[in-house]
Structure 1
Amino acid sequence: MLSTRKFAAAAIAAFMLSHAAAFAEDAKDKVVAKVGDLEIYQSELDLAVANLDPQLAKLPPEQKEVAALSGAIDLKLLAGSAMAEGLENDADFKMRMRYLKDRELHNTYFQKHVVDTVTDDEVKARYEKEIAAMPKQQEVHARHILLKTEDEAKAVIAELDKGADFVTLAKEKSNDPAKSEGGDLGWFTKGRMVPEFEEAAFALPVGTYTKTPVKTQFGYHVIKVEEKRDVAPPPFDQVKDQVRQLVMRDKYVALLQAAKDKTKVDILDETLRKGYDDANKAPEATEPTK
């Protein structure tokens, strides 16, 4: 959700071209290809690989690198033509480069002060906090026998009252596909079944069945509750990535607030100012640029 490395391939190319000298100063940053007088460095290729289209990103490593190199060569070819026309001096191009620079500085700062600062202990503590705050939720393990008429359902209840086995009756008389499993519906929480069925099932004590038929849009049910339990929270390993996002979000919000506290923001357009003020009344800040 919070990615600091996703930006348009064309923007990468423009940024890298404008900083080619800086790459050349790094002895470890080897040249992997030349396009006329322009050079493609390993660092550029690595960025191109990291920002491949999702479909191409599924390719094996060697093929991904070739696909990225092909794209980088195409970019250099037209970038060279653009420079030959002096387009790097175009006012619109300069404006976009200023924006891209600010965005990448933002992302680099976010990486350094948010992403890289999150610890496993912080994530585990936040998980435990979220679990503690979760309301208790119950789930029920039930069986049912579905009949077409109320009289049929009453007849089944009468047989149960005489000691008949619920599973056997379900297999013999139920009109539900679950009849082969003895009417077993497995575990379910509130909101999973139609209201009439749900209300009856959650009201029944464990080990008992409904003494009157329960009517729903599907027919008449005789319900038996086998077990009840509290819903277990999701395991830490299953949700740790989502919890890490929560920790990062909070750090980001705090980082923004600290910057706002020490920096005056003056919006000159009245309509924009009102819109900005209204938007920032929300408790959470906008997520960082992706």
Structure 2
Amino acid sequence: MKKSLIAMLALAGALNAAPVAVVNGESIDDAIFGPNPAELKQMPADARKRLIDSAIDRKLVLMEAKKEKVENSKEYKTLAQLAEENVLIQLWEKKQFDAIKISDAEAQNFYNQNKNQFVVPAQVRAKHILVQSKAEADAIIKELSALKGEALSAKFSEIAAAKSIDKGSAAAGGELGWFPKTQMVPAFGDAAFALKNGEMTKKAVQSQFGYHIIYKQDSKAQQTLTFDRVKDNIIGNLKAQKLQGDLAKKVENLRKNAKIEYK
């Protein structure tokens, strides 16, 4: 039931699809990229184009399959019937899901009893330069040590882009974004969280990846998300949980009232 529930929720996004390409007169909609097609617009242009190009290739193969009358095969008809049945089941389950009502009071009660689930750990925003040797790391630290503020940040990014062997972050000037301590290897996480905002490590931090120079840009204290911020998610989760129980009871009743013969 869980897999069909996920598919059911994804189906809702498909009903509000927008075209991203047209192939031989046929439209390709953004819904094929998942339950949150709006995320496609937020992707970098090159990554977005790669996804769309892949969808175009798929559409061309589909057209070729239709041209060769694959839909007339026995295998296709069997699979098509199963697919049609799955869509019917998903829509029926969506109807049951939409009918479930969870009050604000129920959601508030769940929030009050499970506040630990809504704790966002302390985070820092940092960038780093990763090199292979301690000697190279020490030389970079020496070069940067006389700088402060914006001058330090700008030069740090410049060196990260030129010398960091972490090519993913190097392309963004060493930028790692926001992260909790546990997301990083212990040595890196400990060093980053020990820094003050705007401060750089005075010694290279060694990890299994090499030697890091870390520049801490900003920090956020641990916080508990307010009820208003998580209410919709709580209601959705409670509805999904209730749906599982409701479906089990409905199927049990259907079995009781059905004539079933094992062959």
Rg larger for:
1
How high is the TM-score relative to the length of structure 2?
0.47
How high is the TM-score relative to the length of structure 1?
0.43
